[in-house]
Amino acid sequence: MISEHDRIINTLKQTDLFEKSKDSFINELVRQSRIIEAPKGKILFSQDDNAEYFYIIQSGWVKMFRETLDGTQAIIDIRSSHDFIGETAIFENYVYPYSAEAIEPANMIIAPLSTLHDELKNNAIFSLHMLHLIARQKRHQDHEIEHRSLQNAPQRIGCFILQLIPNENKKTREGLTIHLPYDKTLIASRLGMQPETFSRALSKLKNETDIVIKGASVKINDMDKLIGYTCAACSSIFPCNNMTSKNKCENV
Amino acid sequence: MISEHDRIINTLKQTDLFEKSKDSFINELVRQSRIIEAPKGKILFSQDDNAEYFYIIQSGWVKMFRETLDGTQAIIDIRSSHDFIGETAIFENYVYPYSAEAIEPANMIIAPLSTLHDELKNNAIFSLHMLHLIARQKRHQDHEIEHRSLQNAPQRIGCFILQLIPNENKKTREGLTIHLPYDKTLIASRLGMQPETFSRALSKLKNETDIVIKGASVKINDMDKLIGYTCAACSSIFPCNNMTSKNKCENV
DNA sequence: CGAGGGTTTGAAGTGCATCAAATAGTGTGG
DNA sequence: CCACACTATTTGATGCACTTCAAACCCTCG
Q: Convert the pLDDT of each residue in B71-90 to its tens digit.
A: 899 999 999 999 999 999 99
Tell me: the pLDDT tens digits for B44-56? 999 999 999 999 9
pLDDT of residue B243: 57
Residue B251 pLDDT grade (very low, low, confident, very high; cuts 50, 70, 90): very low
Alpha-helical regions (H) of chain B: 4-14, 23-31, 113-122, 124-150, 153-163, 167-172, 184-190, 195-209, 223-230
With CB atoms and an 8 Å threshold, state whether A74 touches B149.
Answer: yes
Instruction: Catalogue the E-assigned strands of A12-129.
Output: 34-38, 43-45, 53-67, 73-79, 84-85, 99-112
For residue A215, give the nearest of A176, A175, A178, A165 by alpha carbon: A178
Give, in Å, how far the C1' of C3 lies from the CA of A159: 36
pLDDT value at A248 more than 90: no
For residue B55, give the nearest of B74, B36, B30, B42 by alpha carbon: B36
Option in B121, B131, B192 nearest A120 (CB): B131
The number of angstroms, rounded, from the C-alpha of A71 to the middle of its chain's C-alpha atoms is 23
pLDDT of residue A70: 87
Average pLDDT rounded to a whole number, residues A113-128: 96
Strand C–CB B239 distance below 7 A: no
CA distances from B82 to B18, B123, B167 (A): 10, 22, 17
Option in A68, A144, A251 nearest B235 (CB): A68
Residue B234 pLDDT grade (very low, low, confident, very high; cuts 50, 70, 90): very high
Helix (H) or strand (E) holding A114: helix A113-122
Which residues touch A32 (CB under 8 Å, ≥6 apart)? A111, A112, A115
Gyration radius from chain A CA atoms: 19
Taking CA atoms, what residue in A is nearest to B193?
A149
Which residues touch B47 (CB under 8 Å, ≥6 apart)? A235, B66, B67, B96, B97, B98, B99
- Cβ-based neighbour number of residue B31 at 10 Å: 11
Cα–Cα distance for residue pair B99/B140, rounded to 1 Å = 20
User: Which residues 116-175 of A have a C-beta within 8 angstroms of B?
Assistant: 120-128, 130-132, 134-139, 141-142, 144-146, 148-150
Nearest nucleotide (C1') to the CA of residue A196?
A: C8
Cα–Cα distance for residue pair A187/B89, rounded to 1 Å = 31
Residue B247 pLDDT grade (very low, low, confident, very high; cuts 50, 70, 90): very low
Strand D–CB A223 distance below 7 A: no
CA distances from B197 to A2, B74, B187, B200, B202 (A): 60, 17, 11, 5, 8
For residue B227, give the nearest of B158, B157, B135 by alpha carbon: B158
From chain A, pick out residues whose CB is under 8 angstroms from the CB of B25: none
From chain B, pick out residues whose CB is under 8 angstroms from the CB of A192: 145, 148-149
Give, in Å, how far the C1' of C5 lies from the CA of B72: 41
For residue A44, give the nearest of A16, A79, A17, A14 by alpha carbon: A79
The DSSP secondary-structure symbol of B216 reads: T
pLDDT of residue A7: 84
pLDDT of residue B112: 97
Tell me: the pLDDT tens digits for B4-59? 888 889 889 889 999 889 999 999 999 999 999 999 999 999 999 999 999 999 99
Strand D–CB B198 distance below 7 A: yes
pLDDT of residue B220: 97
pLDDT of residue A242: 66
Average pLDDT rounded to a whole number, residues A198-207: 97
pLDDT of residue B242: 66
CA distances from B58 to B7, B13, B55 (A): 10, 11, 9
Nearest nucleotide (C1') to the CA of residue A197?
A: D18
| Beta-ladder partners of B188 | none
Average pLDDT rounded to a whole number, residues A165-183: 95
CA distance A1 to chain B (A): 39
Strand D–CB A203 distance below 7 A: no
Which residues touch A23 (CB under 8 Å, ≥6 apart)? none
Tell me: the pLDDT tens digits for B175-204? 999 999 999 999 999 999 999 999 999 999
Gyration radius from chain B CA atoms: 19
Residue A224 pLDDT grade (very low, low, confident, very high; cuts 50, 70, 90): very high
pLDDT of residue B7: 84
pLDDT value at B244 more than 60: no
For residue A98, give the nearest of A109, A86, A112 by alpha carbon: A86
pLDDT of residue B11: 87
The DSSP secondary-structure symbol of B162 reads: H
Nearest nucleotide (C1') to the CA of residue A151?
A: D17
Q: Within 13 A of A226's CA, how many CA atoms are on the CB side?
A: 28
* Positions on chain D within 7 A of a protein C-beta: 8-13, 17-22, 27-28
CB distance A215 to A208 below 8 Å: no
Average pLDDT rounded to a whole number, residues A52-79: 94
For residue A5, give the nearest of A25, A48, A34 by alpha carbon: A34
CA distances from B83 to A43, A57, A211, A215, B134 (A): 36, 34, 45, 48, 12
